[in-house]
Chains A and B, each alone.
Chain A
Amino acid sequence: MTFRKYLVLSLLFLVFWAATDVAAQNNKAPALAGRVQDAETRITLPGATLVLSLDGAQIAGEISNSAGAYTFPDLPPNTYILTTSFIGYEPRVDTLELPRIKLHDVLLQPTRTFLEEVLVETQRADENRFVAGLSIIKPGDLSRVPMPDVSYDLAGYLVTLPGVVSTGDRGGQLFIRGGTPTQNLVLVDGMRVFQPFHIVGFYSAFPADIISYADVYAGGFSARYGGRISSVIDIKTVNGNKEKLTYSASIAPFLSGFNISIPVRPGDTSLIISARESIIDRVSPAVLGQDLPFRFGDRYVKLHSYLNQTSSMTFTALTTSDEGNLGIGSSGGEDAFRKSTWKNKAFGGKYTYIPEESAVMTELSVYYSSLESRYRPTENEIRTSDVSDLNMNIGFAYLLGPTQIHFGIFGNTNFFDYKLGSLGTEGKSGVTSVGSFIEGQFSIGNVLRVEPGIRLEIFSRGLHNTVGPRARIIYLPRGTGSHHQFSLAGGVYYQQIVGLNNEQDVSDVFTVWSASPSNTPVPKAVHLIAGWKGRPRPWLELTLEGYRKNLSDLSFPVFGDAINKVAEFSKVDGFAQGVDAKIEVTTQDLFLSLTFSHSRVEYQRKAQLATGVFRPNFGSASRLEALTFNPPHDRREQINAMAQYRFGSNKASIRWQFGSGLPFTQVNGYYTDLASSLDPNNQNYVTASGATNVSRSQLYGSRLPTYHRLDITLERSFSIKGASITAMAGVINVYDRNNIFEYNVFSGGRVDQLPIIPSLGIRVDVK
């Protein structure tokens, strides 16, 4: 019945597809033309520069003629970005859907401020250069990844990056070059987000619509970033349209949502409201014939305003909610009570000021974010963990052409509140850190660029004062036009607060945030990355990076005999090292990408006494032997192959992921724990019942099966009465691979990741 429903829907979709195809055929190779005018006086502007881009690549350029007119002939139907600039006017970027729009007059606002130009300069200086460890993600990149909906998402793209390991399509955990999720710093317009990924791993808390770009540092990040030791995902969101109302909406089984941009005060102030909500838990029993008990969503608001010619103000707020049972699989039943929920809240504001007579930009920002986590491991137990973060920054950027110096001071306070149920631990605490950083960008000739930096931070806990030197070097053998670029990046990183979770059980994503133990060194990492990027042909790009991260003073759980219960932790040191390679082919119609990662993550535990969860043990602590092991995210090989082909108004995307098996600990079996019944004065233990204990084999001594999955989608875009409509049909896990998510200790069955899932979606954009 379920399959028949899909068959009918698919046939309807194909008919719809064919009908719209006729319309598309009539609009082949249109031209785009128009005039460039002053928005206030309507005077035509000869000599304005117009650049047409497709998927981030510039494909054509024009200069407006003496009448201010321009023409781009023979453009296939597609969505283009037209950037228009002229001296004395603010640059303007328009998204144009061809063939719907053939005539487009560009109205340029006279420059009242150079604020935005400077902001663009300082924020996007990185765009065209290669920096080891850094991937710059643009909105167009996100649409290349086949997804089960039409809204696209950052999370779907992140897992295509080499060196990024996920737990699969549920759980929302990303491991970046050996770092755990709690060692990743995720910022949205400067706000920290503790759990930035949704319970279904395709999705982050940030829809593509709100993203301007994202800098993903897999390591070697600069001195302006701190508080985490592995990686940084720094997301900058778009400002709303200040000229006219635009909105979009999408509907798909996994995720539906809308985005609206309102010019609150035309020309000056804009408001973006975005909301998404999943409906997969409600439709999956009927459509897929099985439960997918996951519910998630996110809400985002951004108000941006130019206060005057030299200053601007931004207010941003984000909330997310996730709920589901990660341990339930086809077997269901016995652990149906296991439930994970988490809610992020983040809000704050930023004030930016640039005096006209000076090249110093000043930014003042205050942000608050929090995470509430709940986990029900057994029917009668609930564990809670709340963490909040208050962050204040004052930053100064000295913009001296190719030379830039950034200086900042910051203060950060975290509060923790946790109750760990049967583990018998609960507490409230807070930590503070203050510090400053300075970093510069200096060019030596046009072949060498050096970016040194240093971060000084004082922690209220652990190792009290830290000095984190950072450096990046970029070498272009033949100057700016060089086909080959070489880069080195490295630094020393510290993390005062730690996220502790049960790394034995992937379905237990419950993370308890706490301060690093007092009077012991805080977790530390030393990164070194070396990379090469070559562009032997204009359409071919090759990237190769090698990295090593030395890790020390990490907290790792000690697994006792009790199931799903962590009462003690040990200190471990370790390293992550590997090689990531990427090949990309980009033409007007075709995009191909192949990435390969080879890595190794190893932890060493010295002989020691275990420590209790967040405080020293009272009574006897477990004596731990020295041990070397590979943690559960040590994926040795990973391949990601992706292709996208545009034909007419259609777009076909395909992606295949492969990952070698992750480590796991085999068990010898399960037995009844009678310790509490043993009494030298009676023999009650002979008939007593007890909890079930697990007998474990060598820690992470075995490997799960390999992970691989094929996803395909087909999209079609067309216009109806000024609205741009995108229809999508796709299949996730095309060959229905049973990728394991976890082994169910209760039933003895395996819990697999998502099965084959056909998906339909539709999106409407009105601009």
Chain B
Amino acid sequence: MRKIHRHHTGVLITFLFSVLLLGCDNTIEPIDDSGSEAFAIHGYLDMRVARQVVRIEALRPNVLSNPISLEDVQVSTIESESGLFQIWKDSTVILNSGEPGFVFAANFRPELGRTYRLIVSRNGESGSEAIAKLPAKPPTFVNPPVGDSLNIKQRIVLQGMTEKPIQITLSYVVVPADDSGERTIRIAYGQPGVATSSGWEFDVDLVTDRIIILNQLGLNVTVKDVEFRSVSFEMTVFSDEWKEPQKEANLDNAHGFFGSVGVFEHAWFIDSGFLNTLGFVDGQKRN
């Protein structure tokens, strides 16, 4: 009986001691610093430019704290297909708020369909990673022109493409009859077309484009001796990350956004008969 009593007393003392011990701890650890340092990454790889830029921010311990220095931070990319490794150069910019911001830049032009892994680390320790896969050129089909001389259109189908492109630009190479030489006329189409079960479809308005071309050349629309050398379109497209910018699915231990912008071209031939109907002289070079 006495033994049991002693046992209970011991349990009680241990419990009270534990309570006191636990109760003395009054610190809070609001920041979880158990893992690798995380960074905020904002930027995208852009095929249209030869200099790539990302803005990097180290996570701050509270809302009002000053930006954390990135002095020891290294940003690099590895191109998965070739293994090409590139270190980005850091620089400081003044943000609109007047505070300093940190950007990293590298001189290269990403390529269609390639995958780039962006690595942000401090002092060589593991940090944040982001993967950007440049869009690949979708299979492209050009339907025969349809319509009469007042309204001839040609439908382009980009198979499997579901998102609206950033920009479509038509390029026509023509030679005026005055022998002034080859001229390239670029016509911005904006973001035409619709998503269908086949992909993205848009129409090339050949009649309207001819009027624009002649206008650019300073010729009257009745002129029918301009030689038509070639036609192509250039399409600027988003990578998948732009569909849900907040999703951060391609970021590892990081926040923000890292996507890409791809550009591809497609050229085709227009049937001579339709060119004649339009009022061009067929000068396309078929191999």
Chain A residues proximal to chain B, CB less than 8 Å: 334, 560-561, 563, 620, 639, 658, 660, 666-672, 674-675, 678, 680-681, 683, 685-689, 692-693, 695, 697-698, 701-702, 704-706, 708, 737-738, 740, 743-748, 750
- Whether B1 is near chain A, meaning CB under 8 Å from some CB there, is no
In the complex, A698→B28 CA distance in Å? 16
In the complex, A737→B25 CA distance in Å? 11
The 21 sampled A-B contact pairs (Cβ below 8 Å) are A334-B64, A561-B246, A561-B255, A658-B19, A658-B23, A666-B30, A666-B31, A667-B30, A668-B31, A669-B61, A670-B63, A672-B57, A674-B55, A678-B44, A685-B55, A689-B97, A695-B255, A698-B32, A702-B29, A708-B23, A738-B26
- Whether B38 is near chain A, meaning CB under 8 Å from some CB there, is yes
With contact pairs A689-B95, A695-B255 given, residues A668 and B59 touching in the complex (Cβ less than 8 Å): yes
- Min Cβ gap A332→B in Å is 13
- Whether B40 is near chain A, meaning CB under 8 Å from some CB there, is yes
A738 cross-chain contacts in B, Cβ below 8 A:
26
A704 touches B62 (CB 8 A): no
B166 touches A680 (CB 8 A): yes
A660 touches B22 (CB 8 A): yes
- Min Cβ gap B73→A in Å is 14
Q: What mask results when residues 53 to 72 of chain B are scored 1 for a CB within 8 Å of chain A, else 0?
A: 10101111111110000000
A560 cross-chain contacts in B, Cβ below 8 A:
246
Interface size class of B (residues with CB under 8 A): 35 or more
Cβ contact of B28, chosen from A561, A689, A740, cutoff 8 A:
A740
B62 touches A747 (CB 8 A): yes
A695 touches B38 (CB 8 A): yes
In the complex, A745→B30 CA distance in Å? 9
B40 touches A671 (CB 8 A): yes
In the complex, A687→B246 CA distance in Å? 20
B261 touches A680 (CB 8 A): yes
Cβ contact of A702, chosen from B32, B43, B65, cutoff 8 A:
B32
A675 touches B60 (CB 8 A): no
In the complex, A158→B101 CA distance in Å? 52
Q: Count the A-B residue pairs with Cβ separation under 8 angstroms: how many?
A: 122
- Min Cβ gap A697→B in Å is 4
In the complex, A740→B38 CA distance in Å? 27
B59 touches A695 (CB 8 A): yes
B256 touches A674 (CB 8 A): yes
- Min Cβ gap A336→B in Å is 13
**Which 9 pairs between the two chains have the least Cβ-Cβ distance?**
A669-B59, A748-B62, A671-B40, A697-B32, A666-B32, A689-B97, A674-B42, A743-B30, A746-B63
B101 touches A686 (CB 8 A): yes
What residue in chain B is nearest A697 (Cβ atoms)?
A: B32
In the complex, A692→B42 CA distance in Å? 14
A687 touches B94 (CB 8 A): yes
B26 touches A737 (CB 8 A): yes
A670 touches B62 (CB 8 A): yes
- Whether B244 is near chain A, meaning CB under 8 Å from some CB there, is yes
B238 touches A680 (CB 8 A): yes
- Min Cβ gap B230→A in Å is 27
B43 touches A693 (CB 8 A): no
In the complex, A316→B57 CA distance in Å? 60
A693 touches B166 (CB 8 A): no
B32 touches A748 (CB 8 A): no
Cβ contact of B244, chosen from A334, A620, A740, A748, cutoff 8 A:
A620
Q: What mask results when residues 213 to 240 of chain B are scored 1 for a CB within 8 Å of chain A, else 0?
A: 0000000000000000000000010100
- Whether B93 is near chain A, meaning CB under 8 Å from some CB there, is yes
- Whether B245 is near chain A, meaning CB under 8 Å from some CB there, is yes
- Whether B129 is near chain A, meaning CB under 8 Å from some CB there, is no
A672 cross-chain contacts in B, Cβ below 8 A:
40, 57
Docked complex: B4-48 residues within 8 A CB-CB of A:
19, 22-23, 25-32, 35, 38, 40, 42-44, 46
In the complex, A689→B94 CA distance in Å? 10
In the complex, A704→B23 CA distance in Å? 11
With contact pairs A667-B30, A687-B93, A697-B32 given, residues A692 and B63 touching in the complex (Cβ less than 8 Å): yes
B64 touches A748 (CB 8 A): yes
Cβ contact of A746, chosen from B23, B38, B43, B64, cutoff 8 A:
B64
- Min Cβ gap B106→A in Å is 14
A685 touches B42 (CB 8 A): yes
With contact pairs A561-B255, A678-B257, A683-B53 given, residues A745 and B25 touching in the complex (Cβ less than 8 Å): no
